[in-house]
Amino acid sequence: ADGYYEYVMHECVYSTSDYSDMVYLVSNSFNKVVYEQYNSTVGKYVGFTEVGVKYAENFNKNQALLQQLKAQVDTYCRPNAQTVDSSVRDKA
The predicted-structure confidence for 26-65, as pLDDT tens digits, reads as follows 999 999 999 999 999 999 999 999 999 999 999 999 999 9
- Grade residue 88 by pLDDT with cuts at 50, 70 and 90: confident
HEC secondary structure over the chain: CCCCCEEEEEEEECCCCCCCCCEEEEEEEECCEEEEEEECCCCEEEECCHHHHHHHHHHHCCHHHHHHHHHHHHHHHHHHHHHHHHHHHHHC
- Grade residue 86 by pLDDT with cuts at 50, 70 and 90: confident
pTM of the predicted protein model: 0.87
Q: Which domains does the chain have, with CATH numbers?
A: 6-86 (3.10.320.10)
> What's the pLDDT tens digit per position in 7-23?
999 999 999 989 999 99
